[in-house]
Amino acid sequence: MKHSFAVPVIPWLVGCGLLVCASSSLAAREAPVTLGAVPGERLNYNIHWMGVPAGSAFMEVRPAQAGQYALVAGVESIGLIRLLHPIHDQLRAEGSVTPKGMSVRYYAKHQQRGDQKRLIEYRFDREWGEALRTQEGEEPQTIGGVTPGVHDMMTGFYALRSCPALVPGAEIYVPMVDGKKIYQVGVQVGRAERITTPLGLYEALPLTVMVGNSDLFRLEGSIAVWLTNDARRLPVRVESRINLKSVAADLVFFNDGRGEQREWKESR
C-alpha cells in the first residue's frame, strides 16, 4: 500500500482535538483561563509503525500578537521507513482568539513525498461562511457551510485541550474542514487512568476519536489519545490500528511554556 505511517500520525498529532471551545489561554499568559496550551509550548514525539522506529513529529505554539494564535506542526520519516517512504510534512494554522473561542483564518499543509511536493491552503471567510481551498494544478474550490463551529485540524486540536467540558463520559461530534468537504468526527472521553510514558507516569484522560473516511484520514478506524489530567492537557501518547496497521506516538520532549521542560534520554 502507498499508505505510510504518516497517514494516521498527522491526524493524531494535529487533528485529534475537534471541539470548539473558548481558548483564551492562547491569547496571553496572563489570561485567567489557563487550560491547554500557552505560547511557547513545544511537543516532540517518537513514532513507531508496527513496532519499528518510523518517524518523529512536533507541535508548537508560536508567539503571536495579542488576540491571535500561530500553530505549527510537522512529521518526517526516519531510518528504514525513510528509505521506503520519504516523508516531510508541515502544517500551519493562524487565526484569532475571540470570546467564543479560536477562529481560524489561514490553514496550510506542506506535504513532501520524496521529490514530490504539494501545498494545500485554506483561507476562511467567516462573514460569508466559506473557506477557499487552493492547490497548484487544481482549480480553487469554495467550501460552503463554514459556521463558527467549523475548524481546521490544528485549531480544533488546541481548542479541545483548552475546553472545560472535556470530562469523563463526554461524547462529542464536531464538524471540520478536511480535503474539499466538511466532516463530522466523534470523540469519546473515558475515565482518567495511569499511563506509563518515556517521560514518566501520568494520570491521563483517554480519548477515542472515531475516524471517518475523510481525505486526510483516508481509512475507517479509530485513534486513541491520552491527555494529561491537569491544566496543560498534554497529549502524551497516541495509538491507532487502522486497516490492521498499528502506529504509536510517544511524547519524548516538552516545554510547556509555563516553566517546565522535560526530555527523554534514550539509554545507550
Q: Is the CB of residue 199 less than 8 Å from the CB of residue 175?
A: no
33 pLDDT tier (thresholds 50, 70, 90): low
- Of residues 217 and 122, more confidently modeled: 122
241 three-state secondary structure: strand
| Per-residue pLDDT reduced to its tens digit, 228-264 | 999 999 999 999 866 656 789 999 999 999 999 999 9
What does DSSP say about strands 88-98 and 68-77: parallel, antiparallel, or unpaired? antiparallel
Q: For residues 48, 50, 52 and 54, what is the CA-based torsion angle, rounded to 10 degrees?
A: -50
Copy the grid coordinates of residue 188.
469519546
80: phi then psi, degrees, rounded to nearest 5: -60, -40
Matching residue, cell 509503525: 49
Copy the grid coordinates of residue 170.
463526554
Q: Is the CB of residue 159 less than 8 Å from the CB of residue 35?
A: no
Matching residue, cell 511537543: 43
What does DSSP say about strands 141-143 and 130-135: parallel, antiparallel, or unpaired? antiparallel
pLDDT above 90 as % of the chain: 51
Copy the grid coordinates of residue 147.
459556521
pLDDT value at residue 245: 67
pLDDT value at residue 211: 62
- C-alpha to C-alpha distances, 18 to 10, 66, 154, nearest whole angstrom: 14, 24, 9
Residue ranges per structural domain of the chain: 6-254
25 pLDDT tier (thresholds 50, 70, 90): very low
* Closest to 11 in 3D by CA, of 232, 234, 210: 210
The rounded distance, in Å, linking the Cα atoms of 135 and 183 is 20
The rounded distance, in Å, linking the Cα atoms of 233 and 59 is 14
Query: Is the model's pLDDT at 140 over the cut of 70?
Result: yes
Entry pTM: 0.85
| Per-residue pLDDT reduced to its tens digit, 50-68 | 888 999 999 999 999 999 9
What are the strands, taking DSSP E only, across 63-114? 68-77, 88-98, 101-113
| Per-residue pLDDT reduced to its tens digit, 155-188 | 988 988 888 888 899 987 777 888 888 887 788 9
* Closest to 227 in 3D by CA, of 203, 249, 261: 203
